[in-house]
Structure 1
Amino acid sequence: MKPRAKEQAEFTSATGGGPAGAADAGERNLAPATVSPHAPARPHPAMATSRPHESARAHVTGTATYIDDIPEIKGTLHAAPILSTVAHGRLLSVDPSAALALPGVRAVLLASDIPGDPVLATFVHDEPVFARDEVQHVGQVVGLVVADSVMQARRAARQVRLEIEALPAILSAREAHAQRSYVLPPVTVRRGEPESALARSRHRMQGRLEVGGQEHFYLEGQVAYAIPQEQGEWRIHSSTQHPGEVQHWVAHALGLENNAVTVECRRMGGGFGGKETQAGHMAVWAALAARKCGRPVKLRLDRDDDFMITGKRHPFEYDYEAGFDDSGLLTALKLTMLANCGFSADLSGPVADRAIFHTDNAYFLSDVEIVSCRCRTNTQSHTAFRGFGGPQGMILIEAILGDIARTLGLDPLDVRKRNLYGIADRNVTHYGMKVEDNILAPLLARLEESSEYRKRRADIAAWNATSAVIRRGLAITPVKFGISFTATFFNQAGALVHVYTDGSVQVNHGGTEMGQGLNTKIAQVVADELGVPFERVRSTAADTGKVPNASATAASSSTDLNGRAAQYAARNVRDNLAAFVAGLDGCGAGAVRFQGGEVISPHATRSFDEVVKTAYANRIQLWSDGFYRTPKIHYDKTTLSGRPFYYFAYGAACTEVAIDTLTGEHRVLKVDILHDVGTSLNPAIDIGQIEGGFIQGMGWLTSEQLVWNEQGQLATHAPSTYKIPTAGDVPAHFYVQLWPEPNREDNVGGSKAVGEPPLMLAISVWEAIRDAVSGARGDRRPVAMRAPATPENVLAALA
């Protein structure tokens, strides 16, 4: 056998053979992810069981309607963007003549065609609808070509000639920081006296870390369909997480009031934050084109243009100095965070704020200073991404604790446990919020036991002592993630519940469905509130004409907010019916119960359908609205202090990996997760969110590398060059259990949010790879490795 073939065989044997990672066929027959057997019984039948996603059958049969599936109105035109080819420059002229001469081309749209404000209605008001005097990144939209077909528009857009005088471009956060180039002023959060605490510390460590961004890579790309209506009104179909913002942006650009624009979104094929603000661009562009041409216009970006135009997860760079004692306890931390925001602010302010909030992750920081710089660069304007700055905060503290353990020759889990939030003087965050619902210690203890962490560490040490090429690593990392929008005013929601005369129920709310099961969960809540079977409740499309001023479907808060609002709306209808039945039967309304499709009073049992029909005949209101605002939260954005979060969601993951020290390749072998979702509204959906979030986080930290060349062009702008995880990257040993305790705060059904927190469980993959690198080097130095842990970056760390 040739030497390299022998090494590959060793890697295959060590990592379990094929892509699934199991050693043989028998080992692939592992138990599926499960709910903890200790979970208490639920009294609510709809919320007590795993219900299928409300659109699951439509998804697999191809009958689920997305924006591009909507039958096009006669006369619909198609738009395509004209893109800057220069990272930074003066836009001297635009020559559309070659494009206009092509068959099927109807118009070219530029900044001069905007009737309203030429700057988008963002909070900072710093991003033009179309580039005007300057271009700020490769891929910035200068205008649109409108044609009879998609392909005619795209071909014509590439024929528009741009004359641009190149200017110096800033392409990295460090370069921007050196030039004081910021989209927003730097922010500092400080507690205690970190300088003097560092001077007193037994040990000190300095370091740098660079963590890359991440492309959202939703299955359904960015798309909008703008349809002019009568009397100057507009209907916009938008693949958006924030219909209310799209409504505002379109009205602003068209010079109209909000009531002239209605935005609808039945579902998205994924969003992950990429459609929170940046779906608004598509809608504005399509509406402007439709206004100019007087006909409906659809704009759907192809995948390459989507990569070039839209923002990513913010890349971060860090400089830090930490102090610690002989036990690994952190005694001081000074940290500078450089967030690469791109050319405009977008959501960079709150993203960078949340990175500050989550720098602690699960650990008490006694004396700390965090300086956050929001750097302006000539790249796409980076935006929300699942975790919203939380991952960029957490990975830094986990890297520091991992390196402290290596320096001291201690087990990394022991160092992490030594630094956990506790009681008395160790339960207040660096921004002043008391951690009142702390379950970190028992949760980690249970995972440590169930994953056989100590035994596996010993086994891995024995393996590494005899393996020349393949080295294994193991890590447990926790998650403490705050739930609520940090902008307090977003923590509100509305809903409508309609009960029809046949007893069927319809619910509409301000949230949007992007595959996460929001509509399913809310239907479950409404079904239990009315005591009807789950199958009698139908959720409808998000629509600004039904629920106005709705917050974005983001911050993992959509079930908390919209679910409670829907519950209140259903409760109002139920109370109306209860009062009616009480009047019929001569009892108190509180004595009337709704369950199993029946309405039960002390004197009679009637079907829900019968009660509804009789109530309608007696002119009883069978519909209602509901409104909810999150209690307890308060937050001073000038000092970044207060209680920005209603509660914390917790979790932990134990990950084992193997690396090939000759190639830098790695494989994830085993994953054990214990995650806190409170009392699950739908265990199947929650487990799916945990699994998907973990794999997406694993992609961010292992294979999804964004590369801009020296000209500012994104080189990784297609599936051929940008690698998201595939089914083959999922280990056969992939266990998920749910922590068996309800939310200690009064949340809908005792549940907790599940959308974002699981992504950060994947930091355990990153730390396991660093553990393997450290084992291969055989020293006690910190492991300096850039993220993602591509083979190239692993080899660099090994060297």
Structure 2
Amino acid sequence: MADSGASLNVTPFQGVHASVPHDSALRHVTGTAIYVDDLPEPPGTLHVHLGMSTKAHARIVSMNLDAVRAAPGVVCVLTAADIPGENDVSPVIHDDKLFADGEVYCVGQSLFAVAATSIAAARAAAAKAVVDYEDLPAAITIADAAAADLKIEASQRMARGDAQAALAAAPNRIQGRHAIGGQDHFYLEGQASLATPREEGDVHVWCSTQHPSEVQHLVANVLGRPSHAVIVEVRRMGGGFGGKETQASLFAAAAALVAVKTGRPAKCRPDRDEDMVMTGKRHDFEVGYDVGFDDEGRLLGIKLELASRCGATTDLSPAINDRAMFHVDNTYYLPAVEIVSHRYRTHTVSNTAFRGFGGPQGMAAIERVMDAVAQATGLDPLEVRRRNLYGDGGRNLTPYYQVVEDNVAPQLIEDLARSCDYDARQRAVDAFNAANPILKKGLALTPVKFGISFTTTHLNQAGALVHLYADGSIMLNHGGTEMGQGLYIKVAQVAAEAFQVPLDRVKITATTTDKVPNTSATAASSGADLNGMAVLDAANTLKARLVEFAAGKWGVPAEEVAFTPEGVRIGAELVGFGQLCRAAHIGRISLSATGFYATPKITYDRKTHRGRPFYYFAYGAACSEVVIDTLTGETKVLRADILHDVGRSLNPAIDLGQVEGGFIQGMGWLTTEELVYDAKGVLKTHAPSTYKIPTAGDRPRVLNVALWEPGRNAEPTIHRSKAVGEPPLMLGISVFSAITRAVAAAGEHRVMPNLDAPATPEAVLMAVEDVRRRADG
């Protein structure tokens, strides 16, 4: 509501810890939320299509684009030779080219850009290109790359204790292998950029990206200009999940280059098939384990070997694979451990960030080990998990030597086991399986411990800009991006809480690089942690100015100035917030401030893989019950119970949505979402017709989701909340473990199933047949 400048607050106050709807919820459901492709196209806008390589690895012998240039509607065609700056759109290593130059390293690699008066004309023109290739050896799979010893960097080793000696001395020892598939981000809004030229070769880029500053820097480098020549703006994304952390730069740079070269606005928006072919995925992993344990299922020593398909270029693979190593412990104390990680280079599109950033693959590995130990000992898998949890008495040191100081996993697991009636339901599952030869059920309760912070230390910082207007309204800007996760509304609540004003007095403007510079990506679950604290810092600066001004003007001690939901109490007088802002403006007090935050306590030495890479841990647990049809391999998730720790939630409604959505996405990764490349490196699953994400019909019939009530962050984060973006995805591992148990039941739990992820119907059916054959043998 408008504030005349003298009135007190009369609309309801909703600060932090209130369940407030997403700021764009109404616009989302009514279709009025504006995304990049919804922006009105300026007159003369050109549509950009990228010509793509059809080879996985080849030398470009010749590329004839004459027919492309002569095609109807074409205004310009650009190749590597037309780049005035650096031919690079990579985040770190300078090995991702905007346009191929002499050699191609994956199917779908960008060769050239066609700018035409319509996207149909651009696509039709690109099809006229004549490219002559000389094939080079191509490694498509992890096995191919391992055989050729192709790696993006040297293998890494993390260890604590003498794992080999512990294995040799253990009374029980098992080995096994497990494959974990990749995953496409399948954001609802695809990659999209709209570039508008400005004076002197400057350019403004609307971009669907999680990392505006990185897009700014890379576009500037391509153009051969300083960063201040490029403005990148993001109001919202229709999903990101990590797929728009680095991958957006290619499309933004192509649009910006066309805009600067032609002096006309340019839009680059690939369709779904092109997007899936050209952009990176979650890394697929192959895991080998060697584990020693006692008769009670307690681990004594373990060696893990992780191998991932990184794709053709480096992208963020070193950090992603590091995080997989960080999370192979999950909630478990490993007395003697060795983890070796191989990062293989393949001639497939470069894999990239995806929700969890390698953590899910690491956790899936150790949960597979827990299931295997339970199978070997005949113990209930939950009991094996309980016996291996981090605890006191020296059982609180991670493989990378960080002390686990905030371990709530044991209590949270017991709370969930009790509330979901785990013991009785396990007995019921056993009874069902004994009575049913065709259908088999499985039940599994798995925990989550996820480290919060960027493991690249310098990224743990954020800036903010806060304006107070003379009418008492508040404008926020920060470096975080909104991709549907509710960051904007949470940070707005932080500001409302700071000033004790109604939430409708606060507006967050589009994230833009000309207001807050050098920002980190909205990733690593750090959006609210970093940007919330930066906004609070700016708000505290402004409050201090207002307090000093009010104390002087009203003649009271500063201690007698307090911000309340009813207004600002100054001595015995209650003054409207807008009235105070107007008075301060007239009094020539600055009503604008920047804020900054850098995460404390974190340090890490990558050479030794030791330190404290995480500020704190987020915890959760899920119990899933499934049923499989042993004749068809079909699986249904019957029920899931989830209990998740978000500390003191900034917004319980938003957090519940994040938990539920993360679980479903994790479930999809491990059950239905299968990436298939043929022997020539061509992605065959590049559309909804061939790539199956979970639908409403895949949702568990019963889904109980709750935030853990005792939750409170031990560290002084923003209002003692905990991150909630990535950790819930790993709750989906409970579904895979439950399917594993159901398959084992087909062989009366006599052997451990050879079931890899994703557990598609085909995979389940083959695993059932294998289990029965081995059990009978």
Asked if Structure 1 and Structure 2 have the same fold, meaning a TM-score greater than 0.5 normalized by the shorter chain, the answer is: yes
1:715-770 superposed Cα distances (whole Å, 9 cap, x missing partner): 00111000000011112310111112211100101100000000000000000000
Given that 2:479 and 2:531 are in contact with CA atoms closer than 8 Å, whether structure 1 keeps it comes out as yes
2:437 to 468, 471, 478: 468
Shift of 1:668: 0.2
Mapping 1:108-123, distance limit 5 Å:
108-123=77-92
Q: Distance in 1 between matches of 2:553 and 2:270?
A: 59
Shift of 1:597: 4.8
Q: Name 1:765's counterpart in structure 2.
A: 735
Given that 2:13 and 2:503 are in contact with CA atoms closer than 8 Å, whether structure 1 keeps it comes out as no
SS of match in other structure, 1:107: strand
2:494 to 509, 516, 525: 525
Mean Cα deviation higher: 480-489 or 332-341:
332-341
Shift of 1:292: 2.5
Given that 2:201 and 2:260 are in contact with CA atoms closer than 8 Å, whether structure 1 keeps it comes out as no
Q: Name 2:67's counterpart in structure 1.
A: 98
AA of the residue aligned to 1:57: L
Given that 1:121 and 1:252 are in contact with CA atoms closer than 8 Å, whether structure 2 keeps it comes out as no
Q: Distance in 1 between matches of 2:95 and 2:171?
A: 47
Q: Distance in 1 between matches of 2:558 and 2:149?
A: 66
Tell me, yes or no, if structure 1 residue 688 matches structure 2 residue 657.
Answer: yes
Q: Distance in 1 between matches of 2:648 and 2:143?
A: 44
Tell me, yes or no, if structure 1 residue 165 matches structure 2 residue 142.
Answer: no
Q: How many residues align?
A: 757
1:307 to 276, 285, 290: 276
Tell me, yes or no, if structure 1 residue 324 matches structure 2 residue 298.
Answer: no
1:63 to 32, 45, 55: 32
Q: Distance in 2 between matches of 1:119 and 1:451?
A: 52
Q: Distance in 2 between matches of 1:784 and 1:153?
A: 48
Mean Cα deviation higher: 589-598 or 109-118:
589-598
Shift of 1:576: 1.0
Given that 2:212 and 2:521 are in contact with CA atoms closer than 8 Å, whether structure 1 keeps it comes out as yes
Given that 2:649 and 2:722 are in contact with CA atoms closer than 8 Å, whether structure 1 keeps it comes out as yes
Tell me, yes or no, if structure 1 residue 268 matches structure 2 residue 237.
Answer: yes
Q: Which runs of no fewer than 5 residues in structure 1 stay unpaired?
A: 1-42
Q: Distance in 2 between matches of 1:779 and 1:685?
A: 40
Q: Name 2:641's counterpart in structure 1.
A: 672
CA change 1:292–1:45 in 2 (3 A) is: closer
SS of match in other structure, 1:407: helix
Percent identity over paired residues:
54
Q: Distance in 2 between matches of 1:625 and 1:108?
A: 43
Q: Name 1:719's counterpart in structure 2.
A: 688
Measured on the aligned residues, the alpha-carbon RMSD in Å equals 1.1
Shift of 1:345: 0.5
2:560 to 583, 591, 599: 591
Shift of 1:328: 0.6
2:718 to 722, 745, 748: 748
Q: Name 2:332's counterpart in structure 1.
A: 363
Shift of 1:121: 4.8
1:492-550 superposed Cα distances (whole Å, 9 cap, x missing partner): 00001111111111100000000000000000000010111011100110000000000
SS of match in other structure, 2:364: helix
Q: Distance in 2 between matches of 1:261 and 1:514?
A: 22
Q: Distance in 2 between matches of 1:646 and 1:629?
A: 11
TM-score normalized by the length of structure 1: 0.94
Mean Cα deviation higher: 113-122 or 315-324:
113-122
Q: Name 1:790's counterpart in structure 2.
A: 760
Q: Distance in 2 between matches of 1:545 and 1:559?
A: 21
Q: Name 2:612's counterpart in structure 1.
A: 643
Q: Distance in 1 between matches of 2:98 and 2:554?
A: 63
Q: Name 1:29's counterpart in structure 2.
A: none
Q: Distance in 2 between matches of 1:397 and 1:415?
A: 12
Tell me, yes or no, if structure 1 residue 582 matches structure 2 residue 544.
Answer: no
Q: Name 1:252's counterpart in structure 2.
A: 221
Tell me, yes or no, if structure 1 residue 543 matches structure 2 residue 503.
Answer: no
Given that 1:174 and 1:317 are in contact with CA atoms closer than 8 Å, whether structure 2 keeps it comes out as no
Shift of 1:109: 1.1
Q: Distance in 2 between matches of 1:114 and 1:57?
A: 43
SS of match in other structure, 1:577: helix
2:313 to 323, 344, 354: 344
AA of the residue aligned to 1:337: L
Mapping 1:241-640, distance limit 5 Å:
241-640=210-609
SS of match in other structure, 2:725: coil
Q: Distance in 2 between matches of 1:501 and 1:122?
A: 42
Q: Name 2:144's counterpart in structure 1.
A: 175
Shift of 1:290: 1.9
Shift of 1:45: 4.1
AA of the residue aligned to 1:750: R
Q: Name 1:46's counterpart in structure 2.
A: 15
Mean Cα deviation higher: 470-479 or 114-123:
114-123
Mean Cα deviation higher: 130-139 or 559-568:
130-139
Q: Distance in 2 between matches of 1:437 and 1:383?
A: 30
Q: Distance in 1 between matches of 2:122 and 2:170?
A: 64
1:728 to 691, 694, 697: 697
Q: Distance in 1 between matches of 2:445 and 2:488?
A: 34
Shift of 1:44: 8.4
Shift of 1:627: 0.4
Mean Cα deviation higher: 106-115 or 655-664:
106-115
Given that 2:736 and 2:759 are in contact with CA atoms closer than 8 Å, whether structure 1 keeps it comes out as yes
Q: Name 1:205's counterpart in structure 2.
A: 174
Mapping 1:116-155, distance limit 5 Å:
116-155=85-124
Mean Cα deviation higher: 465-474 or 729-738:
729-738
SS of match in other structure, 1:447: helix
Given that 1:404 and 1:782 are in contact with CA atoms closer than 8 Å, whether structure 2 keeps it comes out as no
Given that 2:90 and 2:315 are in contact with CA atoms closer than 8 Å, whether structure 1 keeps it comes out as no
Shift of 1:590: 2.8
Tell me, yes or no, if structure 1 residue 698 matches structure 2 residue 628.
Answer: no
Given that 2:468 and 2:474 are in contact with CA atoms closer than 8 Å, whether structure 1 keeps it comes out as yes
Mean Cα deviation higher: 312-321 or 650-659:
312-321
CA change 1:44–1:206 in 2 (3 A) is: farther
1:476-506 superposed Cα distances (whole Å, 9 cap, x missing partner): 0000000000001000000011111111111
AA of the residue aligned to 2:695: T
Shift of 1:223: 0.7
Q: Distance in 2 between matches of 1:122 and 1:439?
A: 36
AA of the residue aligned to 1:224: S
Q: Distance in 2 between matches of 1:575 and 1:265?
A: 31
AA of the residue aligned to 2:198: Q
Given that 2:19 and 2:651 are in contact with CA atoms closer than 8 Å, whether structure 1 keeps it comes out as yes
Q: Distance in 2 between matches of 1:90 and 1:77?
A: 31
Q: Distance in 1 between matches of 2:749 and 2:210?
A: 48
Q: Name 1:186's counterpart in structure 2.
A: 155
SS of match in other structure, 1:424: coil
SS of match in other structure, 2:155: strand
AA of the residue aligned to 1:787: A
Q: Distance in 2 between matches of 1:585 and 1:613?
A: 14
AA of the residue aligned to 1:792: E
Tell me, yes or no, if structure 1 residue 84 matches structure 2 residue 53.
Answer: yes
CA change 1:398–1:111 in 2 (3 A) is: same
2:750 to 745, 758, 780: 780
1:651-694 superposed Cα distances (whole Å, 9 cap, x missing partner): 00000000000100000000000000000110100000000000
CA change 1:590–1:638 in 2 (3 A) is: farther
SS of match in other structure, 2:153: strand
Q: Distance in 1 between matches of 2:141 and 2:169?
A: 35
AA of the residue aligned to 1:522: V
